């Protein structure tokens, strides 16, 4: 696995384990780049290099290096929930008829 300098720096900044994750803002500041670029690098490390990087959306929130199956499961939970919500949104956009804003607002006036 050949990592570039930015990827190496990011891996070095990730704490081991879910107990002490590092916030994206902190990582971005330490790497002197924006959070969007850091998220891209994290995604690349996971999808291309197979790095076990998890994130926790709740306290403590942030990114960390997954060390065991429990942490993997904890990282996968929110991702699976997000996929479900995205599928629901895709289905709604794909299957509902296109209506105008005026129709929506007019229908609100009738209900009031």
CATH code (residue 66): 1.10.10.10
pLDDT tens by residue, the chain, 112 residues = 799 999 999 999 999 999 999 999 999 999 999 999 999 999 999 999 999 999 998 888 999 999 999 999 999 999 999 999 999 999 999 999 999 999 989 878 665 5
Q: What is the 3-state secondary structure (H, E, C) of the chain?
A: CCCCHHHHHHHHHCCECCCCCECHHHHHHHHCCCHHHHHHHHHHHHHCCCCCEEEECCCCCEEEECCCHHHHHHHHHHHHHHHHHHHHHHHHHHHCCCCCHHHHHHHHHHHC
In Å, what is the CA distance from 9 to each residue of 31, 42, 69, 87, 103? Answer: 8, 11, 25, 34, 53
Confidence at residue 69, expressed as pLDDT on a 0 to 100 scale: 97
Confidence at residue 30, expressed as pLDDT on a 0 to 100 scale: 98
Note down the domain range covering 68.
5-111
State the pTM of this model: 0.82
Tally of structural domains, the chain? 1
Confidence at residue 108, expressed as pLDDT on a 0 to 100 scale: 84
Confidence at residue 16, expressed as pLDDT on a 0 to 100 scale: 97
């Amino acid at each position: 696995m050949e990592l570039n300098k930015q990827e190496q720096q990011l891996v070095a900044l990730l704490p081991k384990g879910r107990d002490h994750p590092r916030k994206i803002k902190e990582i971005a500041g330490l790497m002197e780049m924006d959070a969007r670029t850091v998220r891209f690098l994290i995604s690349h490390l996971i999808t291309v290099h197979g790095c076990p990087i998890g994130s926790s959306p709740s306290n403590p929130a942030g990114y960390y290096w997954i060390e065991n199956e429990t942490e993997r499961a904890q990282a996968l939970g929110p991702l699976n929930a997000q996929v479900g919500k995205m599928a629901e949104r895709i289905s709604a956009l794909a299957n509902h008829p296109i209506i105008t804003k005026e129709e929506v607002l007019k229908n609100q006036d009738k209900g009031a």
